[in-house]
């Protein structure tokens, strides 16, 4: 790593090469304000001399200039062995900028970044700061602060290991979807008393080259595991008021060179055992390059580690080795997208393409995917869209010294809770009356699982409040005793087969007294922005088992509740009838289809169509047409009591979906509806417009394919 900064106290120097004087001047001015000394040239003729004489720390080069293009300039710089860091500027497309950046790197130039014109002052300033930042510490060293007088030597490193100078910083890993903390990566730090902070990019290779890496890894493991014990302790949980930290994972970096040394891994396993830490909580990260050198040894060692329960991660994935093969051949459990792609995702379509395919690859192999180097929220949103599992990067937090971790966690949780509460408030659902659209789903849950109680619980600041409840008389309970509170804390399905024996719940008043909860299963509910607002949960007064199939089923139902939550009571609904509108009906029907597929249940549809609605509108006026639709909606709801979904499927059609129902029942319901319509017509004054809709039904056996297509193919008209 180079940072040959100018003498102590001197501002870093920026030399700009741009054929447009205006642009050069603007850059210079921005740089000047940012504390840099800047000069700009409009022609490459004098540029190289200036580089030699003035010794700039950073060069900003325009890619396209009249006499010589930027790529040639870079080639020449490389030939001259330039040590300055590069910023490439240009008005060309991002692909060209990417390619130029790559070519500079291939030339061995130290490139900080590319910035497209027209650029923002902020973007440029950030690049400039980045250019003078020394990587490797929570606090970046600015140039002029302390300049190493010499490089660290093996002897220095050996001494550091003996004196215990290698410390750790911990960088959090969170879920992309929800921001929930899942673990930390331990990163080695070396602060040499004379030489200052030495970045791991320097001392790790040094350790590897001189046979010190295993010693270092063991020291790292020991410190990190001690730290993990402390942060997962009951004491810490009490301090922060929740239990999330008790299950967090710890990632450690392992050099591939260590793969041949089984003593090292035995020692790590022993360290875990001594501390009562399950190897399942430890993720060993290996870089792609290295995992492959000695194929057979790696396979043996890695397989053994997996069998012992350790998780294995392939680090820096995508950096260009024969990664695919390795990934399939070796027993990895996680894939980490290299930060090079992630950091450039907002600017580079190519980077996005790489991320996309790595995430897909991970998914198809059933691996967790983590993106590291997430620096902005656009990138995080993009990752979430791709369904990338975990994120790590400066946006979430820089690597933290151990003494700062808890404070970071506590303040972040407080912020997240405020955002969560704001999201709940914006739903406008708290303390509103029951709504059929939610009650339908809890009824369905009771029916499918055969439990006494199903609830949609929203977690407010101090209470949980039930938007829908079957089999429970109270409308809310205090938050501190709510099972749902714990489910949300864990951020995943929580199953309690028998609460009387569960450490978290055996003393809970809801277990010891009425309603005497025994069985509980709760699935968290998220809003589109990832905020967790509550749970869909099942409760029963008898203990019971809950299998994987049940879990998937509850999950499907929870997604349906989320779809409903995403619609406020008005949008997603048809204004005239108050039923689901076409879009939301289709969305929910698709989810219901998936549910039936899982359960191997049939489905049926009953639909009523007012073909003459346009004519009624014209002859009698829009108001009468609307009233007919509303009447029909009511008749439909009455005749299909148990329908799981009802929507205004088309302008002239109202459709009800029934799960677990075959053709026979659908026809019966259709008949009932027909009679109800006739009765309603009989009650009308003779001069009123009469309802004369057609009724059709469709039966869908469990199967594949989009709902709508299958329904359209199965219609039968009722007489
Ligand atoms: P790595 O394993 O890929 O670790 C991630 C690196 O990315 C860390 O650099 C981290 O500080 C940095 N990083 C994380 N998020 C961001 C971000 O948003 N933006 C940017 N620009 N950087 C980010 P660090 O700590 O300098 O470590 C560098 C490398 O040194 C590590 O890369 C790892 O390969 C190696 N290393 C560190 N500690 C150890 C260790 O204990 N053992 C071994 N074998 N290698 C280690
Ligand atoms: Ca790593
Ligand atoms: Ca990495």
Q: Is residue 574 part of a domain?
A: no
pLDDT tens readout for residues 483-519: 999 999 888 999 999 999 999 999 999 999 989 999 9
Domain with 220, as residue range(s), is 158-250+398-412
Distance CA 352, CA 242 (A): 36
Q: Is residue 419 part of a domain?
A: no
Ligand positioned closest to the Cα atom of 254: 1
Pocket test for ligand 1, best of 253, 255, 335 (most atoms within 8 A of CB): 253
Q: Tell whether 459 and 483 lie within a shared domain.
A: yes
Into how many domains does the chain fold?
6
Backbone dihedral angles phi then psi of residue 196, each to the nearest 5 degrees: 80, -160
Distance CA 625, CA 627 (A): 5
Q: Is residue 576 part of a domain?
A: no
What's the rounded mean pLDDT across residues 237-257? 90
Respond yes or no on whether the N-terminal peptide bond of residue 140 is cis (omega within 30° of 0): no
Q: Is residue 145 part of a domain?
A: no
pLDDT tens readout for residues 17-60: 988 888 888 888 888 888 889 999 988 888 988 998 899 999 99
Q: Tell whether 560 and 631 lie within a shared domain.
A: no
Q: Is residue 117 part of a domain?
A: yes
Pocket test for ligand 1, best of 216, 339, 342 (most atoms within 8 A of CB): 339
CATH number, domain of 204, equals: 3.20.20.450
How many whole angstroms from 233 Cα to the centroid of ligand 1? Answer: 27
For position 7, what pLDDT does the model report? 41
Q: Tell whether 463 and 530 lie within a shared domain.
A: yes
Active-site residue (options: 334, 372, 489, 531): 372
Annotated catalytic residue 334: no
Q: What is the pTM of this model?
A: 0.67
pLDDT tens readout for residues 578-620: 899 999 899 889 988 888 888 888 999 999 999 999 998 998 8
290: pLDDT strictly greater than 80: no
How many whole angstroms from 191 Cα to the centroid of ligand 3? Answer: 21
User: Measuring from atom 22 of ligand 1, which residue has the nearest CA?
Assistant: 373
Q: Tell whether 102 and 209 lie within a shared domain.
A: no
Name the domain boundary from 365, 383, 412: 412
Q: Tell whether 384 and 403 lie within a shared domain.
A: no
151: DSSP letter? -
Q: Is residue 81 part of a domain?
A: yes
∠ Cα 155 161 165 (to 5°): 105
User: Measuring from atom 3 of ligand 1, which residue has the nearest CA?
Assistant: 316
Nearest to 186 by CA among 173, 174, 198: 173
Pocket test for ligand 1, best of 140, 165, 166, 204 (most atoms within 8 A of CB): 204
Q: Tell whether 392 and 436 lie within a shared domain.
A: no
pLDDT class of 144 with cuts at 50, 70, 90: very low
What is the secondary structure of 614-666 as a DSSP string?
Answer: HHHHHHH-HHHHHHHHHHHHHHHHHHTTT-SEEEEEETTEEEEEEET--HHHH
Q: Tell whether 515 and 610 lie within a shared domain.
A: no
Asked if residue 399 has its Cβ within 6 Å of ligand 1, the reply is yes
pLDDT tens readout for residues 647-663: 999 999 999 999 888 99
How many whole angstroms from 286 Cα to the centroid of ligand 1? Answer: 12
User: Cβ distance 30 to 125 under 8 Å?
Assistant: yes
Q: Is residue 319 part of a domain?
A: no
Name the domain boundary from 109, 140, 171: 140
CATH number, domain of 65, equals: 3.40.50.2300
For the CA of 213, the closest atom of ligand 1 is 44
Respond yes or no on whether the N-terminal peptide bond of residue 226 is cis (omega within 30° of 0): no
pLDDT tens readout for residues 177-230: 889 999 999 999 999 988 899 999 999 999 999 999 999 999 999 999 999 999
Name the domain boundary from 366, 386, 412: 412
Asked if residue 220 has its Cβ within 6 Å of ligand 1, the reply is yes
- The distance of Cα 289 from the centroid of its chain, to the nearest Å, equals 27
Distance CA 41, CA 212 (A): 48
pLDDT class of 295 with cuts at 50, 70, 90: low
User: Measuring from atom 7 of ligand 1, which residue has the nearest CA?
Assistant: 373
Q: Is residue 325 part of a domain?
A: no
């Amino acid at each position: 790593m180079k940072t040959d900064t100018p003498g102590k106290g001197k501002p870093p120097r920026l030399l700009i090469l741009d054929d447009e004087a205006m642009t050069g001047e603007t850059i210079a001015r921005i740089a000047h304000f940012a504390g840099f000394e800047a000069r700009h040239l409009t022609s490459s003729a004098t540029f190289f001399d200036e580089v030699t004489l003035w010794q700039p720390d950073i060069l900003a080069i325009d890619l396209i200039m009249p006499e010589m293009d930027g790529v040639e300039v870079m080639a020449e710089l490389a030939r001259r062995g330039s040590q300055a860091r590069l910023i490439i500027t240009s008005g060309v497309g991002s692909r060209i900028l990417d390619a130029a950046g790559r070519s500079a790197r291939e030339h061995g130039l130290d490139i900080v970044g590319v910035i497209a014109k027209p650029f923002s002052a902020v973007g440029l300033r950030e690049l400039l700061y980045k250019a003078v930042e020394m990587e490797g510490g929570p606090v970046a060293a600015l140039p002029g602060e302390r300049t190493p007088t010499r490089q660290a030597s093996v002897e220095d490193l050996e001494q550091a290991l003996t004196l215990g100078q290698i410390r750790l910083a911990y960088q959090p890993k969170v879920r992309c979807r929800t921001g929930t903390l899942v673990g930390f990566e331990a990163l080695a730090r070396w602060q040499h008393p004379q030489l200052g902070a030495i970045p791991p990019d320097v001392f790790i290779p040094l350790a590897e080259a001189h046979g010190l890496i295993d010693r270092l890894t063991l020291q790292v493991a020991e410190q990190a595991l001690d730290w993990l014990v402390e942060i997962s302790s009951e004491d810490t949980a009490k301090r922060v008021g929740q239990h999330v930290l008790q299950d967090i994972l710890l990632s450690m970096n392992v050099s591939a060179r260590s793969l041949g040394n089984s003593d090292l891994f035995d020692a790590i396993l022993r360290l875990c055992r001594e501390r009562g830490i399950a190897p399942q909580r430890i993720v060993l990260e290996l870089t792609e390059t290295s995992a492959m050198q000695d194929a057979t040894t790696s396979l043996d060692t890695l397989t053994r580690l997996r069998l012992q329960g350790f998780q294995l991660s392939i680090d820096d994935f995508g950096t260009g080795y024969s990664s695919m093969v390795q990934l399939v051949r070796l027993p990895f459990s996680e894939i980490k997208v290299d930060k090079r792609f992630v950091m450039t995702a907002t600017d580079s379509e190519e980077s996005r393409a790489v991320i996309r395919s790595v995430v897909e690859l991970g998914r198809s192999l059933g691996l967790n995917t983590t993106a590291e180097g997430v620096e902005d929220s656009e990138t995080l949103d993009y990752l979430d869209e791709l369904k990338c599992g975990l994120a790590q990067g400066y946006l979430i937090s820089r690597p933290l010294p151990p003494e700062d971790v808890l404070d970071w966690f506590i303040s972040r949780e407080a912020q997240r809770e405020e955002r969560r509460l704001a999201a709940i408030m914006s739903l406008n659902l708290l303390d509103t009356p029951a709504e059929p659209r939610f009650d339908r789903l809890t009824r369905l849950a009771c029916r499918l699982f055969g439990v006494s109680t199903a609830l949609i619980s929203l977690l407010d600041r101090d209470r949980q409040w039930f938007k829908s409840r079957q089999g429970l008389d109270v409308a809310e309970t205090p938050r501190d005793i709510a099972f749902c509170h714990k489910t949300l804390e864990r951020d995943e399905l929580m199953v309690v087969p028998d609460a009387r024996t569960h450490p978290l719940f055996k003393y809970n008043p809801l277990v010891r007294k009425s309603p005497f909860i025994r069985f509980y299963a709760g699935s968290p509910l998220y809003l589109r922005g990832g905020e967790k607002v509550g749970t869909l949960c099942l409760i029963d007064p008898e203990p019971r088992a809950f299998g994987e199939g049940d879990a998937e089923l509850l999950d499907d139902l929870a997604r349906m509740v989320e779809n409903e939550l995403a619609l406020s009571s008005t949008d997603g609904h048809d204004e005239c009838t108050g039923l689901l509108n076409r879009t939301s009906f289709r969305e929910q029907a698709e989810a219901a289809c998936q549910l039936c597929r899982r359960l191997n249940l049939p489905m049926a549809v009953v639909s009523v169509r007012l073909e003459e609605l346009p004519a009624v509108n014209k002859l009698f006026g829009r108001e009468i047409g609307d009233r007919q639709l509303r009447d029909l909606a009511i008749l439909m709801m009455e005749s299909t009591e148990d329908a799981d979904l009802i929507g205004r499927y088309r302008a002239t059609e109202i459709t009800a979906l029934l799960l677990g129902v075959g053709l026979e029942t659908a026809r019966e319901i259709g008949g009932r509806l027909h009679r109800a319509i006739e009765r309603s017509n009989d009650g009308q004054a003779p001069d009123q417009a009469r309802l004369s809709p057609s009724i059709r039904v469709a039966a869908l056996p469990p199967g594949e394919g989009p709902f709508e297509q299958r329904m359209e193919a199965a219609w039968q008209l009722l007489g």
